[in-house]
């Protein structure tokens, strides 16, 4: 049952080879829990974990780049994802209002 202490973020979220997207990107800052510290995705020592995290951030950014508030025509800003040891991703971002939050959760759902 226990997964031996290894971060496996985004399992089931990652889709292979979706590299053809060419629209504007939303920058997503990904951090991961390493022994109780938040470490930036590009600072992770394990290359497999690092590329999985980077990819996850890119894919979330792609999804969010299509999201805009129906009222204010703004997208989410200051997007951050923190991945816990168990691999759960916690998304945080700034939004203009509740309607945008609804659009974001629909886009990522």
Residues that bind Zn ion (CB under 5 A): 69, 71-72, 96-97, 100
Query: CB of residue 82 vs Zn ion: minimum separation in angstroms?
Result: 24
Judged by beta carbon, residue 9 or residue 75, the one nearer Zn ion is 75
* Shortest separation between residue 79's beta carbon and Zn ion, angstroms: 16
Question: Based on CB atoms, which residue is closest to Zn ion, 43 or 72?
Answer: 72
DSSP labels, 17-82: T-----S----EEEEEEETTEEEEGGG-S-HHHHHHHHHHHHHHHHHHTT---TTT----EEEEEE
- Rg of the Cα trace of the chain? 14
Query: Considering the complex, what minimum distance in angstroms separates the CB of residue 62 from Zn ion?
Result: 21
Indicate the residue among 52 and 100 with the shorter CB distance to Zn ion: 100
What is the residue whose two structure tokens read 């991961």?
Answer: 32
In this complex, which beta carbon is closest to Zn ion, that of residue 85 or of residue 96? 96
Could you give the 3-state DSSP secondary structure of residue 1?
A: coil
**Minimum CB separation from Zn ion for residue 65, in Å?**
16
Instruction: For strands 77-83 and 28-34, give the pairing.
Output: parallel
């Amino acid at each position: 049952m226990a997964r031996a202490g290894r971060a496996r973020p985004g399992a089931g979220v990652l889709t292979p080879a979706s590299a053809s997207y060419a629209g504007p990107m939303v920058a997503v800052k990904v951090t991961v829990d390493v022994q109780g510290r938040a470490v930036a995705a590009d600072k992770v020592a394990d290359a497999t974990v690092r590329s999985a995290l980077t990819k996850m951030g890119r894919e979330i950014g792609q999804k969010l780049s299509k999201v805009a508030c129906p009222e204010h025509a703004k997208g989410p800003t200051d997007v951050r994802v923190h991945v816990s040891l168990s691999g759960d991703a916690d998304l945080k971002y700034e939004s203009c209002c509740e309607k945008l939050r609804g659009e974001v959760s629909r886009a990522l759902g």
